[in-house]
Amino acid sequence: MTTMTTFKQDKRTQNAIISTVSYIALAVMLIFWLFPVFWMVLTAFKPNPEITRNEAPLSILEPTLDNINYLFQETEFVNWIVNSLVVSASTTIFSVIVGTLAAYALVRFRLKGGKVLGMGIFITYLLPQTLLFIPMAYVIQQLRLYDNLLALVLVYPTMMVPFCTWLMMGYFSQIPKDMEESARVDGATRWQAFYMVVLPLAIPGTISAAIFTFTLSWSEYLYSLVLIPSSASQTIPVGVPNALSSGDVFIWGSIMAAALIGSLPVVFVYAFFMKYFVSGMMAGAVKG
């Protein structure tokens, strides 16, 4: 009896030690990953003299809103936000719709070479932008869309549609065909079975694809830099560094304020749709 009691106490002690070590490791990781965010917020509300003299690097002596005021009053930051929202929303809607329909066709229809085509679509997504931006710029120039936001709306789906298709293929493959066939037996057309049975079950995967597409479009830099030279038409990733830096001189306070404000839409999207994002990624990662 004494031996059993001692064993249980040792087991509890061992579990407590493991739990403590795990929480400490988790705390260290959180500090490591969240420190850049903390530094960004700190710098966004610091006056420039404190930033340049590096006084009290982990605190703010005299908090200020001058960096944010400068951003809105002296730059075209409002235009950059609107441009980013228009491009990201348009790209997301188009890419998710086309990618979802393409994925459904590749998974459900018995197409010759369907699997090869699906893999080819994903490989297209993996092609580096540095190999494509020169011919893409030539095509946009021939279409007379240079320095036009419509150029980005047309170019971004070339990257996003393959990714959405690949992700949704993995998700559709997890949905049993029996449910769709039962709807067809009851008189539903192929489109009705897709719209009323399959698509509602695929909503988590669709939301996951939309989150990724919106995030990638929001932060894309190379195509926006090449295709949109005028400041008023640029997006946040290009407009902010161009306007707030000159040579080796950087307006760090306003840059951090722009990064803080520019990250809020993405943070909101992830926070609001997180549970759908996780379930969609789990289903998309295991392809049937």
Three-state secondary structure of 233-273? HCCHHHHHHHHCEECCEECHHHHHHHHHHHHHHHHHHHHHC
Question: What percentage of residues in the chain have a pLDDT greater than 70?
Answer: 88
Structure tokens at 127: 């092609």
DSSP state of 198: I
Residues 65-81 have a mean pLDDT of 89
| Same domain (yes/no): 233, 266 | yes
The residue behind tokens 């059993």 is 4
| Same domain (yes/no): 33, 167 | no
Please tell me the predicted confidence (pLDDT) of residue 285: 45
Contact 270, 207 (CB under 8 A): no
Structure tokens at 218: 């929001």
Residue 5 pLDDT > 70: no
Please tell me the predicted confidence (pLDDT) of residue 80: 92
Cα–Cα distance, 210 to 9 (Å, whole number): 50
> Is this prediction's pTM over 0.85?
no
| Same domain (yes/no): 82, 165 | yes
| Same domain (yes/no): 146, 52 | no
List, in order, residues 6 or more apart from 4 with CB less than 8 Å away: none
Q: Is residue 71 part of a domain?
A: no
- Report the chain's terminal Cα–Cα distance, integer Å: 52
The residue behind tokens 């009323």 is 196
| Same domain (yes/no): 98, 32 | no
CA dihedral (159, 165, 166, 171) positive or negative:
positive
- Domain hosting residue 166, numbered range: 76-285
